[in-house]
Chain A
Amino acid sequence: MIAMNYRGPFRIRTERNRPEPEIMHPNDAIVRVTRSLICGSDLHLYHGMVPDTRVGMTFGHEFTGIVTEVGEGVQNLKVGDHVLVPFNIACGACPFCKQELFGNCHESNPQHTAIGGIFGYSHAAGGYDGGQAEYVRVPYADVGPTKIPAGMNIEDAVMLTDVTPTGYQAAEMGGIQKGDTVVVFGAGPIGIMAARCSWLFGAGRVIIIDHLDYRLEFAKKYAMCEAYNFKEMHDPVVFLKRTTDWFGADVCIDAVGCEAVGTPSQDITGRLFLQAGSATALNWAINSVKKGGIVSVVGVYGMPWNMIAMGSVLNKGITLRANQASVKRLLPRLIEHVQNGILDPKGLITHRIPLEEVNEAYHIFSAKRDNCIKPLLIPPTATRELIAA
């Protein structure tokens, strides 16, 4: 089969003869991928920032596909079902899954305890090959995979595997009260979706911060929010204080993660691996939220640590909330929002690229070329179906 093959930082190959995955556990299914996305999280892998990213791995944790084979223990899925697959690999039986912390499953990542299993996300997250391929092995097939509701657009479906729930959970963790001012750092797909979802919780004002004008323009329209470029500010924290009556925002959301730019000392220590990337956006969030405010973190941070303004967290009495999104927990609500036309996830997809050109897709997304917001990969088999239909 055709699959993306990681060769080292910034280097990706399209592998044409990769063996197809096999059932390895009674609860496994094999899925033939119909759509697959590249995520900002994949960029951390692509840039070589995630420890234990092995040469030869296939990335991809946001995909839909048709079930081609099921293990003997699988009850809810059958061959031919078209499913969307949440990025978390979750057993449904451990104490964390039972409490719907599906992003924190205890039975899917032998290598680490802090991280649950994630498709195509290095051996730090379980060592599973991912969905930027024609076929994927899907463990715990009865738990995560969800049949795509009849009539749902496939691009909306694939956007429900990560971006939509993550953006929604970012807003949800903010504990937004009606009328609150919410500041979102990062106008990537996640930040834009977080800004959009902040309105669903009753925000009174939503502000998004980035340094890429094309993304800010996009966000302004898509999320109907205010958008500002931090490159044009002397100091983004002072700017945000001023615009919130010098008190600070009620809620700040970090949708950037460990590759934030904007503070030289953070950038340099990050490049030297003295810390895991850079924590600029998180520090801006901590310093621009009001006292007693809430900082919600969905931006991904690597291991082992970052330089964050803990003194401000303490002195301001800030509540820090963070997690990998619990996709399965949020799916019923979000499917409703999509079906009722409240959310339009597919509207974030700007590029549709054949899987065979995955190397170029990464470059375009990583270098922020061609006004790219979110690139979608289409495997050749799915393209043929499109043309035939």
Chain B
Amino acid sequence: MDTKAKNRFAKGSDTYQEVLTGDVDRKIADTVKNIPGWGIDADRENDPTYPMKHRNGADYERIHYEAPPQQPLTMKVFQSIERPRMTSVFGTSVPPRGLSGALRGFAYRYSETDTRHWMTLLLADRVNVVEGVIDDFSKGIVPNIFAERGWTAEGNTIDREQSKKLPSVQRSVQR
């Protein structure tokens, strides 16, 4: 963790005190401050997010934070339109491909508040399942639905035996 930032916001530090007293300048326009009664009932302690959030003013400095270095983009990764840029890191599990990929591309043209975003993604997921089966067949793999659904666990005594053996092995090691 960025220790400099941590110290700056640590409990008891100047910044922390400023946040508590409301002296951190949030660039509040003077015109606002001139509104009769502005701020007379402000209460720093009125913070229902405590203790989930350790309020320390980082919110007010948000555009100045130093993001970690950028992970190089080596494959197609969709970016939310609610973001100005890619995040510093991202996952590379399964790049978008085929029809499902195209559908996902369409979905990511809409924000997280738009039904088209989520519903298109769900549709793409279903299409992707069919693509997965086609892909399997093309590689000569016939999906064993019975095994994939884990039904082999039902009354499969050999496997049961095996999984029962594990805890005993483990227990003997831990003592």
Contacts and interface: CB of A to CB of B under 8 A. Distances in A.
A379 to B, nearest CB: 12
Give the contact-size bracket for chain A. 35 or more
A58 B93 contact: yes
A243 interface: no
A108 B67 CA distance: 11
A357 B87 contact: no
A258 B145 CA distance: 26
Contact of B132 (A55, A98, A142, A323): A55
B65 interface: yes
A317 interface: no
Nearest to A119: B91
Interface in A153-205: 153-154, 169, 172-173
A13 B83 CA distance: 35
Given A95-B62, A98-B65, A359 B159 contact: no
Nearest to A58: B93
Contacts of A323: 52
Nearest to B174: A153
A107 interface: yes
A386 interface: yes
A51 B74 CA distance: 23
B78 interface: yes
B78 A111 contact: yes
A32 to B, nearest CB: 18
Contacts of A24: 71-72, 74, 89, 92
A208 interface: no
A106 B87 contact: yes
A101 B149 contact: no
Contact of A124 (B82, B121, B132): B121
B163 A123 contact: no
Given A51-B121, A357-B163, A139 B89 contact: yes
Interface stretch (A80-88, A225-233, A347-355): A347-355
Contacts of A351: 163
Interface stretch (A126-134, A211-219, A337-345): A126-134
A73 B1 CA distance: 12
B51 A54 contact: no
A92 B94 contact: no
A94 B67 contact: yes
B58 interface: yes
A369 interface: yes
Nearest to B148: A11
Interface residues of B, number: 80
Interface in B119-154: 119, 121-122, 124-126, 128-129, 131-133, 143, 145, 147-154
B128 A55 contact: yes
Contacts of B126: 48
B134 to A, nearest CB: 11
A301 interface: no
Interface string B73-117: 010011110110011111111101000100010011000110101
Nearest to A143: B1
A7 interface: yes
Interface string A375-388: 00010000100110
B24 interface: no
Nearest to B63: A95
Given A51-B125, A53-B125, A99 B83 contact: no
Contact of A369 (B78, B145, B153): B153
A352 B170 contact: yes
Contacts of A303: 112, 118
A304 B158 CA distance: 43
Looking at B129, B145, B148, B167, the one whose CB has the most chain A CB atoms below 10 A away is B148
Contact of B69 (A55, A73, A123): A73
A140 interface: yes
A321 B118 CA distance: 24
15 contacts: A12-B148, A24-B72, A25-B69, A54-B100, A56-B132, A91-B88, A93-B2, A95-B59, A96-B58, A127-B91, A127-B94, A173-B52, A321-B52, A362-B150, A386-B173
The 7 closest A-B pairs by CB, nearest first: A363-B150, A127-B91, A128-B91, A360-B153, A8-B129, A51-B121, A55-B132
Interface of B: 1-2, 5-6, 9, 48, 51-56, 58-59, 61-62, 65-69, 71-72, 74, 77-80, 82-83, 86-94, 96, 100, 104, 107-108, 112-113, 115, 117-119, 121-122, 124-126, 128-129, 131-133, 143, 145, 147-154, 156, 159, 162-163, 166-167, 169-170, 173-174
Given A98-B6, A109-B87, A113-B82, 5 more contacts: A52-B104, A54-B94, A95-B62, A129-B92, A304-B117
